[in-house]
Amino acid sequence: MISKRIVLHFPQRLVDQPIVYKLVKDYDLQFNILKAYVTPQEEGLMVLELTGEDEQFKKGIDYLESCGVRIQPLSQDIIRNEAKCTDCGVCVPICPVGALVVDPLTSKVHFYDNKCIACELCVKVCPTKAMEIHF
Protein backbone atom coordinates (compact mmCIF):
# COMPACT_ATOMS: atom_id res chain seq x y z
CA MET A 1 0.00 0.00 0.00
CA ILE A 2 1.08 3.53 -0.71
CA SER A 3 -0.46 6.79 0.42
CA LYS A 4 0.61 10.23 -0.76
CA ARG A 5 -0.60 13.80 -0.73
CA ILE A 6 -0.35 15.27 -4.20
CA VAL A 7 -1.36 18.41 -6.06
CA LEU A 8 -2.95 17.99 -9.49
CA HIS A 9 -2.84 20.84 -11.99
CA PHE A 10 -5.46 20.42 -14.74
CA PRO A 11 -4.86 22.45 -17.91
CA GLN A 12 -7.80 24.50 -19.20
CA ARG A 13 -8.89 21.88 -21.77
CA LEU A 14 -9.33 19.25 -19.01
CA VAL A 15 -11.24 21.35 -16.50
CA ASP A 16 -14.65 20.11 -17.66
CA GLN A 17 -13.56 16.45 -18.06
CA PRO A 18 -14.33 13.72 -15.51
CA ILE A 19 -10.87 12.36 -14.72
CA VAL A 20 -10.43 11.69 -11.04
CA TYR A 21 -13.29 9.19 -10.86
CA LYS A 22 -11.27 6.84 -13.08
CA LEU A 23 -8.73 6.51 -10.28
CA VAL A 24 -11.42 4.63 -8.33
CA LYS A 25 -13.06 2.83 -11.21
CA ASP A 26 -10.02 1.60 -13.13
CA TYR A 27 -7.23 1.58 -10.54
CA ASP A 28 -9.08 0.88 -7.28
CA LEU A 29 -7.50 3.91 -5.57
CA GLN A 30 -9.01 5.72 -2.61
CA PHE A 31 -8.85 9.48 -2.53
CA ASN A 32 -9.65 12.20 -0.08
CA ILE A 33 -10.12 15.62 -1.69
CA LEU A 34 -8.44 18.19 0.54
CA LYS A 35 -8.97 21.10 -1.81
CA ALA A 36 -10.31 21.75 -5.30
CA TYR A 37 -10.84 24.91 -7.29
CA VAL A 38 -10.61 26.48 -10.73
CA THR A 39 -8.30 29.49 -10.96
CA PRO A 40 -9.19 32.68 -12.86
CA GLN A 41 -6.87 31.42 -15.61
CA GLU A 42 -9.23 28.43 -15.80
CA GLU A 43 -6.62 26.00 -14.62
CA GLY A 44 -8.00 23.34 -12.30
CA LEU A 45 -6.23 22.66 -9.03
CA MET A 46 -6.90 19.73 -6.75
CA VAL A 47 -5.15 18.55 -3.61
CA LEU A 48 -5.64 14.83 -3.02
CA GLU A 49 -4.62 12.27 -0.49
CA LEU A 50 -4.30 9.19 -2.71
CA THR A 51 -4.07 5.63 -1.36
CA GLY A 52 -3.80 2.24 -3.07
CA GLU A 53 -1.69 -0.80 -4.03
CA ASP A 54 1.79 0.17 -5.20
CA GLU A 55 1.32 -1.10 -8.77
CA GLN A 56 -2.13 0.44 -9.17
CA PHE A 57 -0.96 3.72 -7.62
CA LYS A 58 1.80 3.96 -10.22
CA LYS A 59 -0.62 3.14 -13.05
CA GLY A 60 -3.09 5.74 -11.77
CA ILE A 61 -0.40 8.44 -11.72
CA ASP A 62 0.67 7.39 -15.23
CA TYR A 63 -2.94 7.69 -16.35
CA LEU A 64 -3.24 11.23 -14.93
CA GLU A 65 -0.01 12.29 -16.59
CA SER A 66 -1.06 10.76 -19.91
CA CYS A 67 -4.17 12.95 -19.79
CA GLY A 68 -1.98 16.04 -19.37
CA VAL A 69 -2.39 16.54 -15.62
CA ARG A 70 0.73 17.96 -13.96
CA ILE A 71 1.52 16.38 -10.57
CA GLN A 72 3.39 17.98 -7.71
CA PRO A 73 4.07 16.58 -4.22
CA LEU A 74 2.13 18.57 -1.64
CA SER A 75 5.10 19.35 0.59
CA GLN A 76 6.43 21.82 -1.98
CA ASP A 77 3.34 23.98 -1.84
CA ILE A 78 3.12 25.47 1.62
CA ILE A 79 6.51 26.80 2.54
CA ARG A 80 7.69 28.60 5.61
CA ASN A 81 9.80 31.65 4.88
CA GLU A 82 12.43 31.19 7.60
CA ALA A 83 13.55 34.80 7.33
CA LYS A 84 10.07 36.08 8.14
CA CYS A 85 9.03 33.57 10.84
CA THR A 86 9.53 34.89 14.39
CA ASP A 87 8.74 31.53 16.05
CA CYS A 88 5.90 33.09 18.04
CA GLY A 89 3.68 30.00 17.81
CA VAL A 90 0.29 31.63 17.24
CA CYS A 91 -0.22 29.25 14.28
CA VAL A 92 0.26 26.14 16.41
CA PRO A 93 -3.28 25.69 17.83
CA ILE A 94 -4.78 26.76 14.48
CA CYS A 95 -3.20 23.92 12.45
CA PRO A 96 -5.80 21.11 12.30
CA VAL A 97 -3.27 18.31 11.68
CA GLY A 98 -0.41 19.15 14.07
CA ALA A 99 2.01 20.09 11.30
CA LEU A 100 3.16 23.14 13.29
CA VAL A 101 4.68 22.25 16.66
CA VAL A 102 6.70 24.12 19.29
CA ASP A 103 9.96 22.37 20.15
CA PRO A 104 9.95 22.13 23.96
CA LEU A 105 13.73 22.61 24.18
CA THR A 106 14.41 25.43 21.73
CA SER A 107 10.91 26.99 21.82
CA LYS A 108 11.18 27.30 18.05
CA VAL A 109 8.26 26.33 15.81
CA HIS A 110 8.80 23.27 13.60
CA PHE A 111 6.88 22.87 10.35
CA TYR A 112 6.38 19.23 9.37
CA ASP A 113 5.45 19.66 5.71
CA ASN A 114 4.76 15.92 5.31
CA LYS A 115 1.77 16.36 7.64
CA CYS A 116 0.52 19.55 5.97
CA ILE A 117 -2.81 19.30 4.12
CA ALA A 118 -2.52 22.78 2.58
CA CYS A 119 -5.67 24.09 4.25
CA GLU A 120 -3.93 27.49 4.36
CA LEU A 121 -5.28 28.45 7.80
CA CYS A 122 -1.74 29.24 8.98
CA VAL A 123 -1.19 31.44 5.92
CA LYS A 124 -4.03 33.69 7.00
CA VAL A 125 -3.24 33.86 10.71
CA CYS A 126 0.53 34.31 10.52
CA PRO A 127 1.18 37.86 11.78
CA THR A 128 4.39 38.24 9.75
CA LYS A 129 3.12 36.46 6.61
CA ALA A 130 5.85 33.84 6.92
CA MET A 131 3.71 30.96 5.59
CA GLU A 132 3.68 31.10 1.80
CA ILE A 133 1.66 29.31 -0.87
CA HIS A 134 3.53 28.06 -3.92
CA PHE A 135 0.88 26.32 -6.02
Q: Which is nearer to another protein, 24 or 88 (CB)?
A: 88
* In contact, 130 and 100? CB cutoff 8 Å: no
- Among the listed residues 81, 89, 110, 114, the single contact to another protein using CB under 8 A: 89
Q: Is 82 in the site for another protein (CB under 8 A)?
A: no
Q: Which is nearer to another protein, 13 or 108 (CB)?
A: 108
CA distances in angstroms from 109 to 16, 58, 75, 106, listed in the order given: 41, 35, 17, 9
Rounded least distance, CB 91 to another protein, Å:
7
The Cα 125–Cα 135 span in angstroms is 19
Rounded least distance, CB 123 to another protein, Å:
10
- Among the listed residues 24, 33, 36, 94, the single contact to another protein using CB under 8 A: 94
- Among the listed residues 1, 66, 107, 134, the single contact to another protein using CB under 8 A: 107
For another protein, the binding residues (CB under 8 A) are 86-94, 102, 106-108, 124-125, 127-129
